[in-house]
């Protein structure tokens, strides 16, 4: 029993024969499950501007502190702000701007009242009304996603050494990344061995069993970002195994 070594030591002995391949640049859409070879920081604030998280009306919160269904506050509508536009005209006291989800909050406004709390629900496709009745009070910052709320310029997004997930790809796309520096996929040659083993799909003769290890290990390698190179089922013959490994390495060099 003294000759046994730990799993960690076995891993260290194996890994000492390998070198990390040079990093390469790949399109973002091809980076899934690869290992990032660079630290990535936010190039700008995210969101890059204050924007509404609801369809509703941007206004001064002080104007609607007393608003209720019984005594609504009536405000003049002076702007219509759909998503994709950028307002520059400020909102003054007593005024409101109709605003869509994701649209920039205009200067002067400090909150958004959801359309459900107004007499404009639901939003219609008709011309912009002249006024709106507000049925509920609001507080500063209500339903406003602040500039830099998610990420601030220069803030680390993902560290080198991270295995890239679908969520990481979405995050990187949100800051405009189209390609990333990554380490190439490790190439792993593998096989099953045993005179009693046959591949699934072949006739199962007496004394034989189907190979489950090779399909499982191949799937595990792919799931963890490796390029699996299965050699099939080999007999319990050291020479055949060595020859097959050498051929696999020769045909699929690192």
Q: What is the pLDDT of residues 186-198, one digit of tens each?
A: 888 999 999 999 9
> Is 34 exposed, middle or buried, given 0-12, 13-18 or 19+ CB atoms closer than 10 A?
buried
Q: What is the pLDDT of residue 253?
A: 63
- Distance, CA of 224 to CA of 143 (rounded, Å): 40
Q: What is the pLDDT of residue 1?
A: 53
Q: Which domains does the chain have, with CATH numbers?
A: 25-45+153-184 (3.90.105.10), 51-145 (2.170.190.11), 185-254 (3.40.980.10)
Tens digits of residue pLDDT in 78-111: 999 999 999 999 999 999 999 999 999 999 999 9
Q: Is the pLDDT of residue 126 over 90?
A: no
As a whole number, the mean pLDDT across the chain is 93
- Distance, CA of 161 to CA of 166 (rounded, Å): 16
Of the candidates 142, 57, 49, 50, the one whose C-alpha atom is nearest the C-alpha of residue 94 is 57
- 129, 120 Cβ separation under 8 angstroms: yes
The dihedrals phi and psi of 217, each to the nearest 5 degrees, come to -65, -35
- Distance, CA of 76 to CA of 96 (rounded, Å): 6
66 secondary structure, DSSP code = T
In the chain, what percentage of residues exceed pLDDT 70? 97
- 181, 24 Cβ separation under 8 angstroms: yes
Weakest-pLDDT range from 104-118, 165-179, 182-196, 235-249: 235-249
Band of pLDDT at residue 17, cut at 50, 70 and 90? confident
The dihedrals phi and psi of 246, each to the nearest 5 degrees, come to -65, -40
Q: What angle do CA 79, 84, 89 make, to 5 degrees?
A: 30
Q: What is the pLDDT of residue 123?
A: 73
Band of pLDDT at residue 124, cut at 50, 70 and 90? low
- Average pLDDT of span 115-131: 84
Tens digits of residue pLDDT in 29-85: 999 999 999 999 999 999 999 999 999 999 999 999 999 999 999 999 999 999 999
- 57, 116 Cβ separation under 8 angstroms: no
- Distance, CA of 245 to CA of 59 (rounded, Å): 71
Q: What is the pLDDT of residue 210?
A: 95
Q: What is the pLDDT of residue 245?
A: 86
Is residue 122 reached through a cis peptide bond, with omega within 30 degrees of 0 on the bond before it? yes
Q: Is the pLDDT of residue 181 over 90?
A: yes
């Amino acid at each position: 029993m003294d000759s046994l070594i730990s799993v960690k030591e076995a891993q260290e002995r194996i890994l000492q024969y390998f070198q990390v391949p040079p990093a390469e640049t790949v399109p973002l859409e091809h980076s899934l499950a690869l290992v990032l070879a660079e630290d990535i920081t936010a190039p700008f604030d995210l969101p890059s501007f204050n924007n509404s998280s609801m369809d509703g009306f941007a206004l001064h919160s002080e104007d609607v502190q007393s608003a209720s269904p019984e005594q609504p506050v009536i405000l003049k509508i002076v702007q219509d702000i759909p998503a994709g536009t950028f307002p520059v005209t400020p909102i003054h006291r007593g005024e409101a701007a109709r605003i869509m989800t994701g649209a920039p909050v205009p200067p002067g406004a400090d909150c958004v009242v959801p359309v459900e709390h107004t007499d404009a629900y639901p939003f219609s496709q008709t011309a912009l009304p002249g006024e709106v009745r507000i049925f509920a009070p609001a507080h500063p910052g209500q339903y406003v996603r602040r500039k830099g709320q998610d990420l601030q310029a220069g803030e680390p997004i993902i560290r080198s050494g991270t295995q890239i997930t679908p969520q990481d790809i979405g995050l990187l796309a949100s800051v405009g990344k189209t390609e990333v520096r990554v380490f190439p996929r490790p190439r792993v040659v593998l096989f099953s061995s045993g005179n009693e083993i046959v591949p699934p799909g072949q006739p199962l003769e007496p004394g034989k069993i189907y190979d489950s290890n090779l399909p499982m290990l191949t799937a595990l390698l792919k799931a963890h970002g490796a390029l699996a190179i299965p050699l099939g089922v080999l007999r319990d013959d050291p020479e055949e195994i060595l020859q097959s490994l050498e051929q696999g390495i020769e045909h699929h060099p690192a």
